[in-house]
Chains A and B, each alone.
Chain A
Amino acid sequence: MSAGRAIGAALRGLALALALLLVTFPFFWILLTSLKPPELVARADVWLFAPSVANWRDVLFGSSVPRYIGNSVLVGLATVAITLAVGCPAAYAFSRFRVGGGAGRFAILAAEMMPPAVLIVPFFLLMYRLALIDTVWAVVAAHLTFITPVVVWFLIGFIDEVPRELEQQAMVDGYTQFQAFYKVILPVIRPGLAASAIFAFVLSWNDMFYALILTGGAAKTLPVAIAGYWTFRGIEMGKMAVAILISIVPVLIASFFVQKHLVKGLGGGAVKF
């Protein structure tokens, strides 16, 4: 009995260790690569070396990567601001007024099913005509197309959880329905708003496709810059590794804070908070 249990526990531990290794090894390898001296970067078989900060110094102080990080942050923040500003009222309408009937709330996710390739050519032409090619605003506009629906979907779940009596109480207490919405509903779903904001930021931060096609110079975002290390002279693996690490860290931190709420949001309000 106890021996069987011990073996079970050992097997479980082994499986978990294996899974942990599979997940963390790439990160470890990238970290290692970023610290390799330039002449060893191409040598995947070398594991022991004197660490060098040359790649880090080159990327942070000798390249435009800091500027691209700034672009990514700007795109992310603008996307979050706009997506919440339009997403909250939209989610409220879907939740309370049953806009589009029961199917309406699912229909908004249809935008997610569409391959980005469908949108990109019209987008490119539109931005070209508007003279917005290679600006962060073109990227923000593109990001809104796939981020807003998910955020609305999230928020519907959170608003569904708020009893209607709360806003009805506010209406009886002397407020309009819109006032009830922003004075009562929005503060109550604050955890949901925070989770949605972080999630939206991460989606924007990680996108490469739209940014790659709509920018090319000054307005590049970090993922595009990472891809830029794949040059005609070969892959600048060391610097790329540095840029990759810089792009991963915010996502890791954000995921840590929102993972609990993400599950709730994806559950469409099936879980109480």
Chain B
Amino acid sequence: MPGVRFEGVRKSFGEVETLKGIDLKIEDGSFTVLVGPSGCGKTTTLRLLAGLETVSAGRILIGDRDVTGLEPRARNVAMVFQNYALYPHMTVYENMAFGLLPRRLSRAEIDARVRRAAAMLGIEPLLGRRPGQLSGGQQQRVAIGRAVVREPNVFLFDEPLSNLDAKLRVGMRTELLKLHRELGTTTVYVTHDQEEAMTMGDRIVVMEAGAIAQVGSPREIYFHPANLAVAGLVGSPPMNLIAGRLTAEGFAGAGLEIALGAAAARPGAVVLGIRPEDVHPAEAPEGRRVSEPIAAVVEVVELLGSRAIVTLALDGIELKAVIDERHLEGFREGASPSVVFDRDRLHLFDRESGRRLDPTAGETPA
């Protein structure tokens, strides 16, 4: 299975530059997710790869083949659109076979491929129906089946799950991943949902304002966000970001003082990032290296079941914390518990450039 390469790809629509130079290597057989807020250029990137838009500058390669100027039909990619784009005048069978007709395969070969894909997706009983007679989830399967029968070099998915209800969506995620394991086809998947990106991608490309903000595994993206944009996008509830300064002792800002040890060699303006799940009750540090206890006031408690999202007021700032249900006793609304932060999991960013400063590496802002 060939991989995909973007080399200095730019795209402008009239005056507006939507993509500001994308360099990206997508490995053979990987499941790569493009994620970012709306308008970040992720869908444009996908459409450029499909050939539905033409690049303004740069090259796109599928395997070793430069496909930059090729029409969509010459690229051997299959795409699943957000609205599924099923041909309403054709049956499910005809929809799936349609993409095979231009290849002049034998009738028997087409039939075998359609039935194999239908079996894989459990839509054999639907082959004689028309799209209008199917539920949203069934239409989704047909759209995926239509991509599968083509046996393309690359699968392209443009927010394929966003029209499904929440329960179906989670089920479909698993199925798509299983399908990917089975077929091993290079997959590029676009979503605005960071949770979907985290659970599905073996590689995540975070995009922001027409550029790539970070490329990495879900773990890298989550535990080592390269900049403020990524830190703010990934994680739910999102990371707490607190503006302050780096001093000789550590971080100081918004009434907080957190010792960072050797990290704070050079002072400067920074943003401190604390994930809500790294905020703990002071009495239950559970063996973590934690900061000094800080008094907070509980404003809102949203119970999720085994955990709760607690909104804390802390000397003028608001802090989200995810607290285990076992420790919720002291976190009733209006209570004033003490909290600590996991010191090994704090994130520091340069306030000017937004770039990550690694506290342990001793890197400090200029």
Chain A residues engaging chain B, CB cutoff 8 angstroms: 163, 165-166, 168-176, 184, 187-188, 190
Contact = CB atoms under 8 A, between A and B. Distances in A.
A163 B89 contact: no
A163 B52 contact: no
B81 interface: yes
B83 A165 contact: yes
Contacts, number: 58
Nearest to B158: A165
Contacts of A173: 73, 78, 98-99, 102, 146, 150
15 contacts: A163-B83, A166-B85, A166-B87, A168-B52, A169-B81, A169-B87, A170-B98, A172-B156, A173-B73, A173-B146, A174-B73, A174-B99, A174-B101, A176-B71, A188-B88
Contacts of B71: 171, 176
B79 interface: yes
A190 B103 contact: no
B84 to A, nearest CB: 8
A170 B78 CA distance: 10
B87 A172 contact: no
A263 B164 CA distance: 33
Which secondary structure dominates chain A's binding surface? helix
Contacts of A172: 50-52, 72-73, 75, 77-79, 156
B105 to A, nearest CB: 11
A154 B319 CA distance: 58
Contacts of A188: 87-89
Interface in B91-105: 98-99, 101-103
Contact of B89 (A168, A169, A171, A190): A190
A169 B85 CA distance: 7
Interface string B147-160: 00010000010000
The list of the 10 closest CB pairs from A to B, nearest first, reads A173-B99, A174-B102, A165-B85, A169-B85, A171-B72, A187-B89, A165-B81, A174-B73, A172-B72, A172-B79
A184 B75 CA distance: 20
A270 B102 CA distance: 35
Interface in B210-226: none
A176 B73 contact: yes
Interface of B: 50-52, 71-73, 75, 77-79, 81-83, 85, 87-89, 98-99, 101-103, 146, 150, 156
B136 to A, nearest CB: 16
Greatest chain B CB density within 10 A among A168, A174, A175, A188 is at A174
A176 B74 CA distance: 10
Nearest to A184: B87
Nearest to B99: A173
A163 B86 CA distance: 10
B85 A163 contact: yes
Contacts of A163: 83, 85
Contacts of A175: 73, 102
Contacts of B82: 165
Contact of B79 (A166, A169, A184, A190): A169
A38 to B, nearest CB: 55
A168 B156 CA distance: 13
Greatest chain A CB density within 10 A among B81, B85, B98, B101 is at B85
A165 B52 CA distance: 10
B201 to A, nearest CB: 22
Contacts of A166: 85, 87
A173 B72 CA distance: 8
A171 B98 contact: no
A77 to B, nearest CB: 25
Contact of B85 (A168, A174, A176): A168
Contacts of A176: 71, 73
B190 to A, nearest CB: 14
Contacts of B73: 171-176
A168 B47 CA distance: 10
A68 to B, nearest CB: 39
A184 B78 CA distance: 17
Given A166-B85, A169-B81, A173-B99, 16 more contacts: A165-B81, A168-B81, A169-B87, A171-B71, A171-B73, A172-B50, A172-B51, A172-B52, A172-B72, A172-B75, A172-B79, A173-B78, A174-B73, A174-B102, A184-B87, A188-B88
Contacts of A168: 50, 52, 72, 79, 81, 85
A168 B83 CA distance: 12
Contacts of A190: 89
Contacts of B156: 172
Contacts of B52: 168, 171-172
A163 B163 CA distance: 16
B223 to A, nearest CB: 37
Contacts of B98: 170, 173
A165 B88 CA distance: 12
Contacts of B72: 168, 171-172
A175 B102 CA distance: 7
Contacts of A174: 73, 99, 101-103, 150
A209 B52 CA distance: 48
Contacts of B99: 173-174
A190 B88 CA distance: 12
Nearest to A168: B52
Contacts of B88: 188
Contacts of B146: 173
A171 B78 CA distance: 10
Contacts of A170: 87, 98
A174 B153 CA distance: 13
